[in-house]
A and B are shown apart, each in its own frame.
Chain A
Amino acid sequence: MFRRTFLKAALAAVLIAAAASGHSAAHAEDASFIVVQSTTSTQNSGLFDYLLPIFTEKTGIEVRVVAVGTGQAIKNAANGDGDVLLVHAKAAEEAFVAEGNGVERFDLMYNDFVIVGPAADPAGIAGTGDTAAALQAIAASGATFASRGDDSGTHKAELKLWQAAGVDPAAASGEWYRETGSGMGATLNAAAGMGAYTLPDRATWVAFENKGDLQILTEGDTALFNQYGVILVNPEKFPAVKAAEGQQFVDWLLSEEGQAAIAAYQVDGQQLFFPNAM
């Protein structure tokens, strides 16, 4: 009994002290800010570092990005822990809105997935251009393939591609099919280390610095299209959502100015995201 009370008192003390310490932080409360739940691809590619200062300068609204896999981002937003959701898994996004967690989903921009693999190309897929054929060749040859395995947008897209190719990679999990259960960057690091094939989005791939001897082997197939969407988290369901500021961010992204800013972002002279809101 005493221990219970003591623990409760201790927890309260910790929370009060922590809250006090948090309030003293220079950044904490002095400006208006929103929290955006988003994906590692948008952050790791450097898009946000380019885009957000433009928006903040214009509106004075600071944008705090939590970059996790699409699955986790949607989960976090469904707990009300975020004001805007910016991810790439259309079906899951529509379900998010249908469940009342989001106001409305808008197409924002797209890029594409590519299949990268070791230069030696043991499955011989270079220049196929046909994703299904490339995946079938990888499965048939038993060459190692590194999957995200983390329920992210990229992972969902990859599973759809396997399905379209008529291959069940789960049956080979632990053999040639390796599920890293981590982000795109970590999976690329693993693929570079194992000499494996993998499926990154082009933005993460171009910005990635540890390519090793990996290179793009299959690209340009319409099946590799990767659509991003943006959703304001529903303030009616979650009163803490900063609806006005969040809406301002969504509106700006979808505006001519925001779309132009997305198109202007380049790495190594290469455009990484293609706006398609209008």
Chain B
Amino acid sequence: MQDLGGAFGEALRLIVQLDRDLLEIVGLSLRVSLSAVALAALIGLPLGAVVAICRFPGKAIVVATLNTFMGLPPVVVGLVVYLMLSRAGPLGELGLLYTPSAMIVAQTVLVTPIVAALARQTVEDMRSEYWEQLHAFGVGTGGMVATLLWEARLSLVTVLLAGFGRAVAEVGAVIIVGGNINHVTRVMTTAIALETSKGALDLALGLGIVLLALVLGVNGLASGLRGMVARHGHA
């Protein structure tokens, strides 16, 4: 039976050799998941803030829906996006299936509710603190959304990291809409699934360790960024 030591050796070997295939896979993982998080931020942050600030009938239902969709199973998202993008589906004309674009779409669908739901909570927590002041200045909804999102930016970085973690770690959606095609749509998680199915458990686990290191790197960058922002804020 394979041991964890073998996996660490394999991970080290992959990193030291800077295998070209590995770099390609890592690059695509980052590109797909970061794009998805960026799009999810564009949609989810304003959406979450609007839901937090505005009062409207059925708000509780919207909040509950957002919170529920945080638990969307990736494989279900993959299936739905597949049915949409399939040649036989409504968006088949675009020819996006089995491309990185399809993977970005799927992960965006997966991550947007997480970003929106967590942003809503974050903004709502700040709302009472700023509400009277902003209201007194006659700031409208749009201004309030912008102001509160800006004031919450440090917490929102963590929100986006949670979204990134979800995106980069999922396999169910990207393997269906991407097809795990070598040199085209193979990312870290689908490569791990493939190596596992080949019985190459050392290599699979090694890739897993590389993936964790990658997430660690992104988290490190984000926390560095947050530190810089925080210092600027106080200066």
Interface string of B166-186 (1 = CB under 8 A from A): 000000000000011111100
Contact call A208/B198, Cβ cutoff below 8 A: yes
Chain B residues, CB < 8 A from A183: 197
Chain B, residues 82-120, CB within 8 Å of chain A (1/0): the string is 000011110110111111111011001000000000000
Q: Which residues of A contact B91 (CB under 8 A)?
A: 15
Contacts of B89 in A (CB 8 A): 79
**Chain A's nearest CB lies how many Å from the CB of B64?**
15
Q: Does B49 contact A (CB under 8 A)?
A: no
A276 interface residue (CB < 8 Å to B): no
Within 206-265 of A, Cβ neighbours of B (below 8 Å) are at 207-212, 238, 240
The reply to whether B86 and A80 form a contact with Cβ atoms under 8 Å apart is yes
A residues 184-198 touching B (CB-CB < 8 Å): 184-186, 188-189, 192
Q: Is the CB of B181 within 8 A of A184?
A: no
Does A54 interact with chain B (Cβ within 8 Å)? no
Interface status of A22 (Cβ within 8 A of chain B): yes
- Does residue A103 face the partner (Cβ distance < 8 Å to B)? no
**Is B43 a contact partner of A10 (Cβ separation < 8 A)?**
yes
B180 to chain A, nearest CB (A): 7
User: How far in angstroms is the closest Cβ of chain A from B65?
Assistant: 10
B16 at the interface (CB under 8 A from A): no
Whether A65 pairs with B182 at a CB distance below 8 angstroms is yes
Whether B42 lies near A186 (C-beta < 8 A) is: no
Binary per-residue interface labels of chain B (1-12) against chain A in the complex, 1 for a CB within 8 Å, 0 otherwise: 110000000000
How many residues of chain B have a CB within 8 Å of chain A?
A: 40
The total of Cβ contacts below 8 Å across the A-B interface reads 113
Interchain CA distance A43-B95 in the complex, whole Å: 24
- B39 CB–A CB distance under 8 Å: yes
A210→B87 contact, CB < 8 A: no
B98→A81 contact, CB < 8 A = yes
Known contacts: A18-B105, A212-B1. The answer to whether A28 contacts B199 by CB under 8 A is: no
Decide: B101 and A19 in contact? CB cutoff 8 A. Answer: yes
Number of interface residues of A (CB under 8 A): 43
Q: Mark A80-103, 1 if CB is under 8 A from B, else 0.
A: 110000000000000000000000
Q: Is the CB of A185 within 8 A of B197?
A: yes
User: Which residue of chain A has its CB nearest to the CB of B50?
Assistant: A6
A18–B180 touching, CB < 8 Å: no
Listed in ascending order, the chain B residues whose CB lies under 8 Å from chain A are 1-2, 31, 35, 39, 42-43, 47, 62, 86-89, 91-92, 94-102, 104-105, 108, 179-184, 194, 196-201
In whole angstroms, how far apart are the Cα atoms of A165 and B95 in the complex? 46
Is A160's beta carbon under 8 Å from chain B?
Answer: no
Contact of B87 among A184, A208, A240 (CB under 8 A): A240
B43, B62, B96 interface centre (most CB from chain A within 10 Å): B43
Name A210's contact: one of B88, B179, B183, B201 (CB within 8 Å): B201
Q: Shortest distance in angstroms between A63's beta carbon and chain B's nearest beta carbon?
A: 9
- Beyond known contacts A64-B184, A185-B196, A240-B95: 16 more, CB 8 A cutoff: A15-B91, A18-B105, A18-B108, A21-B35, A21-B100, A22-B96, A22-B101, A28-B100, A43-B194, A44-B197, A44-B198, A65-B182, A185-B199, A192-B199, A207-B198, A240-B87
Assess the A238–B98 pair: CB atoms within 8 A: no
A17-B39, A81-B97 known; A64 and B198 CB under 8 Å?
no
A45: nearest residue on chain B (CB-CB)? Answer: B198
Q: With both chains docked as a complex, state the minimum distance between the C-beta of A107 and any C-beta of chain B, in angstroms.
A: 26
Contact A18 B198 (CB under 8 A): no
Q: List 11 A-B contacts (CB under 8 A).
A: A13-B43, A14-B104, A14-B105, A15-B96, A18-B105, A19-B94, A22-B104, A44-B197, A64-B181, A81-B87, A209-B201
A28 to chain B, nearest CB (A): 6
Please name all residues of chain A whose beta carbon is closer than 8 Å to the beta carbon of B200 when the two chains form the complex.
209-210
> Does A140 count as interface, using CB distance less than 8 angstroms?
no
Minimum distance in angstroms from B111 CB to a CB of chain A: 11
Docked CA distance A159–B196 (Å):
25
Contacts of A3 in B (CB 8 A): 62
